[in-house]
Amino acid sequence: MNDYKGRLGAVRVAHERQRWFRRQQHWRSGQEATISLGSRKYEWRHSRLRGRDGADTWIGFGILTYNLGRMVVIGATR
């Protein structure tokens, strides 16, 4: 990570223009969108169960619900 602000150097620009780098950026933004959707739609922000074990269970069921929803959407398009 750079500790300075300003224009990127030619080496860094060339590095960031590589196909694998751009694909990784797109993948990361997609994952962030999935997390954002989960926190809004599946209530991943606040656990209704107590303690760490309860929070883990709450998140686990939220992920399961999300995955089942995706399977329905994918199955409907086929």
Whether pLDDT at 7 is above 70? yes
* Two structure tokens written together for 28: 């990361």
Whether pLDDT at 2 is above 80? no
Rounded CA separation 44/59 (Å): 6
Read off the pLDDT of each residue in 8-19 and give the average, rounded to a whole number.
Answer: 92
- Per-residue pLDDT band for 49 (boundaries 50, 70, 90) equals confident
Question: Using one digit for the tens of pLDDT, what is the confidence trace for 17-48?
Answer: 999 999 999 999 998 998 888 888 888 788 88
The alpha carbon dihedral of 73, 42, 34, 67 has a sign of negative
